[in-house]
Structure formats: structure tokens, C-alpha cells
Chain A
Amino acid sequence: MAKKIDVNSLIDSKNGRVTPSIYTDLDIYQLEMARIFGRCWLFLAHESQIPKAGDFFNTYMGEDPIVVVRQRDGSIKAFLNQCRHRSMRVSFADSGNARAFTCPYHGWSYGVNGDLIDVPLESRAYPQGLCKEKWGLQEVPCVENYKGLIFGNWDVTAPALKEYMGDIAWYMDGVLDRREGGTEIIGGVHKWVIDCNWKFPAEQFASDQYHALFTHASAVQVLGAKSDSDDKALGKGQTARPVWETAKDAVQYGEDGHGSGFFFTENPDANVWVDGAVSQYFRDTYPEAEARLGKIRALRLAGHNNMFPTLSWLNGTATLRVWHPRGPHQVEVWAFCIADKNASDEVKEAFERSATRAFGPAGFLEQDDSENWTEVQKVLRGQRAKNTPLCMEMGLNQERRRDDGVPGTTNYIFSETAARSMYRRWADLLISETWEEVLQRTQQFQQEVMK
């Protein structure tokens, strides 16, 4: 490390301050790669993407290329996509089915279980002997499945996935567990780059419903219907107005670095930009969802979420995405459309159409999100700008625990409770040597918040 970084001087979650050099500093970025992306649970793939033995999906943990592979016994393993001989990538397709991964450089070949199984000219090139057992692909030691989502973690001392998730699992179930049979990924992956630090999108999905009213004003204006009109642009099932205009109350959750926000609606209303056929599907399947999840989550069809550090999703809109860091100044978005496996093919097509219309690189809403983040990142080239503390005070000291079953530290939806929690967890990870210290620091902060 080139210089000692005083992380605590850059984040003040108690008073709601963040110094934006955390979005630009290369030393901080390198520390994040080691202490956050090297120690936290990261989303790898959905199990539906690799149903058969030998099916693989290529992704990243931080900037490390990872190949996720279905094994012959049905289990899932993940490996660093790096030949142990000269570091070449051994799998290049975005996904597919393989019997072996053969390095194009010198031809070393690995089985789908990661074992090094063939080395060209082995007896002539290594007359002294080569212990192939030692040179298999490097396996991600911790891989766990949460209701179809596969996560990986490099750190064997990290808390188990369920413990790491904490209460965000309750919020995530609102998407993953609505119907018997669970979920699946519909179609392919939107992949694109945004020249901004990974924490901007992660924080927005954790903690920022506030931006939607202004940033997405144009999309809401042109896709919405008048509330007294039958003129539903997106099909007769469309919810006419944005839920923030019609909801009776709303909540934000922020704890352990994770965050979420949603509105309480009277009816199972997806947001205004969701396809009418999808909105109608949610109404039709509401009784099953309510039986599985209870009323609050079954009704929860509009809302934002981030599981620390980089897995985000939106209820109702059916977009799930991971923000792969690409240096302090760039993020690579991978966005998936997720829907109930037991939905009909017509409804799944509507989900895909709907997610594409609103989100993805050409989405009516998402275009404007990426514009904000790239402009912020440009401003932070300035020496004065990157050292000027930003206001993160929204809803400060208004946190409370609820008695209606919504878990965790909560606040009104228009607050920055989740952002303050996210940056505190972020700092705790950067300054702590062990997970034990991280958990202690987080607990201490959360007690202070609730004082």
C-alpha cells in the first residue's frame, strides 16, 4: 500500500458526511478489492442458467474472471478462470456446456471439477515429473445457494451466507419466493460499462428512492396514464400512476451494509412503467404470494434493494444486476431479468419486454441513472470537488424498529439510513483485519443508530 489511508476520516455515518475521494482513490480501490471483494459474498449466477452437468457461466468476482460450473453430481463449483501455467484464460464463451476447459496457450486441460487432467508432452517436458494434483484450477472455497442465487466468497473465515445476509434475506424473498418452483433468469444478460465508481449504483439501489421523482420524471410522464383514464399505454393491466403518488406509507431498511426501500400499497400494484401483462400477473398470483410471504411482502411490487456490496434488484420490474468494479472510475453492469419459473411463456415474454423497456442500457428509466453517475464521476476529477464533504443527512436520527414484521433498522423511505449503514460497513471492512472485528464494529454502530 502506497500510503496509509485514514478511512474513518472520510466517512462519518453518525453525522451523515461522506468525502467523495472514496470514489476516486486508487489506493482505496485496491484495498476494496482485497478486503471487500476478497471477503464478502458475491453473486455469481442463477442456478437456472446452468441446469445440466458441464454447463458453465462466466462471470467475475471483483476483477477476477470466474467460471461457474454444474458438476456431475448436480452441485455447483466456481473456479478462477486462469490457467495455472501462464495465467491464460481457459474458458471464453459467455456460457455453454463443456467436458473440459482447455487453455489455448499451451493446451493444459482441466476437468469441469477443476482438476488438471492433461498436459501436452507431459513426459518429455517434465521428465522430473509434474504433480498435476497440485495444479488444478483455483476453486472458490465458499459457494452457497440461496433460493436459486449462487454466491461465492474467497474468505473461509467469513460468516455463512445466511448470517451475512441478515435481514436482507427477508426482503429478497419478496422476489425469490412468491410462487412454488422459485425463479429463473429469462433470456440473456445486458452488459455495459458506466464510467463511475461501483459505490454510486450500489448506494442508489440500497438507499435512494428520492432520485426517482426527479431523475425519472420524463419516463414517468410519457409512460404513465391519467388516473381516471382507460388509456393505459402499456396494456390494460398497467398501474396508472407511480406508486409514490398512491402509496399510504413507505419504509427504508438499512443494516449490515444492505439496504432496501418500498411502498405500502392497498393492492398488488407494480410500478407505472411495468408492462400491463406483468402487473396483471401479479394480481392473478397474489393469493399464492400472500400465502407464502404474508401480506406486506406479497403487496411489495415496487421497491429497490442492494445486498452489499454489489447485488441489486427491483421488485416488480424484475431486474437483478451486479455492479462489477473496473477500477475506481468504471463499473460494468450485468443485468438479468428474473421471474417466477411457473409463470406462463407469455408472461415471461412480458417480463422480458417490460424489464427491457424500463431498464437496461436503452431503458426509459435507466438511461438517466447512468447519466447522473458519469457526470458525478467527472466532477470528482477536481481536487477541490473530491475533498468536499457531501451531505448524507436525510432522515438522520429518525431510525426505528417497526412492530409490523418489517425487520431491521428502518426509517421513512426518503432517508439515507441505508447509505449511512452501507458506508459504515464499507469502512469497517476496510479497517478490520478479521471478520470478528467487522461484526463487532457493525454492531456497535447499529446500537448507536438506535440510541
Chain B
Amino acid sequence: MNDIATQPMRTGSAISFELHHEISQFLYLEAELLDDWQFRDWLALLDDDISYTMRTVVNAQTRDRRRDVAPPTTWIFNDNKFQLERRVARLETGMAWAEEPPSRTRHVISNLHVTPTERSDEFDIRLNYILYRSQKERDQTFYVGMRKDRIRQSHSGSAWKIFRREILLDQVVLHSHNLSVFF
């Protein structure tokens, strides 16, 4: 368990089938763009105020957690729109050696839980993900964890935008030599 997992989800009224379907289709499209290396198109789905973060996770005893004693954590990703765009620009240089040749990825998402927020045009999303990465000749990595997104639709019928992504990766010691792919 991590801090971001223990924050209470809002328990407002359930959303409609139609809206759930629409949001899930939007998230599948986003995953496709990443898997197809369409990184500029992916950036276009992120709002200008996007906060894209991942923090380390830690081992602490249950007894200590009850007393709110836990080892400190730090950022793994702490990106705004500009910094995400720079990551994409880095891939485009052809000299981002961690991604040369580029990794093949499959973003698999499930356990989609959408809840309304206090704003009628914004929704909270919690989901689990498996991100498969195949690299070079035979390297492969599975990143498994949970994601909390917040999305908005500024005007009725307009495109959805993601403006918050908190990523939890369930490893204290990451079994991957680098995180050069997008979650």
C-alpha cells in the first residue's frame, strides 16, 4: 500500500453506462497512441496543467504505519507538460540510447473505476495497469501497478484531457534498469 492508494476515493453517485464507456474508450485510445509511438499525439491528450508523478514505495511495518511512521519517499517522475514534452523531444533526437532502438510496449489497463468530482466536467479515475516492455533482442520487463488519473472535458462534447496522473509502481527496488517509457 502506498500513500496514494489510501487516500479515500469520492463516493458520489455512479456515472452512467454511456459515460463509463466513453471514458474507457478515451483511455484505450491514449494507450494505443503510446504503444504506437505517437508521442506528439499523446501529448495533445494532456492538458497544459498536467501533473504526471510517480513516487518511490517503501517497506514499513504495520505497527509503524498505524502510528504514521513510514520511511521517507521521493519522486521518480515529477513532470509538468513542459517536462513531458522534453522527454518526447529527447526520444526524437535519435540519441536517447535507452530507447534506441525504441522499446515495444503494451499498455494494458483494467479495474476501471470512474467517479464524479465536485466539478461536473471533471472525473476521477482509478485503474490497475500492466505495462509490458520488450526491448532490444530479448529484454522484457513488466511494470505492474495502479494509476489515478483526473480528466476534464472543458465544454460539453469537446475532447477529454488528462490533467493529473499519479502512478504507483509496486516495487521497492525497481527490477528495471531504467524507466524510459511513459506510463
Chain B min CB distance to A269 (Å): 21
B12 adjacent to chain A (CB < 8 Å): no
B58: chain A residues within 8 A (beta carbon): 93-94, 188
Known: A93-B61, A192-B178. 11 other contacts (CB 8 A): A92-B59, A92-B61, A93-B59, A93-B71, A188-B58, A193-B177, A222-B90, A233-B82, A356-B78, A361-B76, A361-B174
Q: Report Cα–Cα, A374/B82, bound state, in Å.
A: 30
A27 adjacent to chain B (CB < 8 Å): no
A157 adjacent to chain B (CB < 8 Å): no
Which of A211-219, A239-247, A404-412, A428-436 lies at the interface?
A: A211-219
B19: chain A residues within 8 A (beta carbon): none
A324-373 CB contacts (< 8 Å) to partner B: 332, 337, 352-353, 356-357, 360-362, 364, 366-368, 370-373
**Interface core residue of A92, A187, A367, A374 (most chain B CB under 10 Å):** A367
Known: A95-B71, A188-B71, A367-B178. A357 touches B64 (CB 8 A): no
B7 adjacent to chain A (CB < 8 Å): no
Q: Report Cα–Cα, A366/B96, bound state, in Å.
A: 11
Q: Of B71, B78, B82, B87, which contacts A94 at CB under 8 A?
A: B71
| B interface residue count range (under 10 / 10 to 19 / 20 to 34 / 35 or more) | 35 or more
Interface string of B50-68 (1 = CB under 8 A from A): 0000111011110010000
A221 adjacent to chain B (CB < 8 Å): yes
A191 adjacent to chain B (CB < 8 Å): yes
A218: chain B residues within 8 A (beta carbon): 90, 93-97
Q: Report Cα–Cα, A190/B172, bound state, in Å.
A: 9
Q: Is A356 a contact of B64 with CB atoms below 8 Å?
A: no
B61: chain A residues within 8 A (beta carbon): 92-93, 96
Pairs A–B under 8 Å by Cβ, sample size 24: A96-B69, A186-B74, A188-B71, A189-B56, A189-B74, A191-B174, A192-B178, A193-B177, A195-B177, A217-B93, A221-B95, A223-B86, A356-B76, A357-B78, A360-B75, A360-B76, A361-B178, A361-B179, A364-B87, A367-B178, A370-B177, A371-B98, A371-B178, A375-B136
B178: chain A residues within 8 A (beta carbon): 192, 361-362, 366-368, 370-371
B4 adjacent to chain A (CB < 8 Å): no
The size of the chain A interface, using a CB distance under 8 A, is 43
A97 adjacent to chain B (CB < 8 Å): yes
Q: Is A97 a contact of B98 with CB atoms below 8 Å?
A: no
A202 adjacent to chain B (CB < 8 Å): no
The closest CB in chain A to the CB of B173 belongs to: A191
Q: Is B59 a contact of A352 with CB atoms below 8 Å?
A: no
B42 adjacent to chain A (CB < 8 Å): no
B77 adjacent to chain A (CB < 8 Å): yes
B72: chain A residues within 8 A (beta carbon): 95, 187-188
The closest CB in chain B to the CB of A375 belongs to: B136
Q: Of A195, A217, A222, A352, which contacts B89 at CB under 8 A?
A: A222
B175: chain A residues within 8 A (beta carbon): 192-193
Q: Of B73, B173, B174, which contacts A188 at CB under 8 A?
A: B73
Chain A min CB distance to B49 (Å): 17
Chain B min CB distance to A281 (Å): 18
A357: chain B residues within 8 A (beta carbon): 78, 83
Q: Of A93, A233, A353, A366, which contacts B64 at CB under 8 A?
A: A93
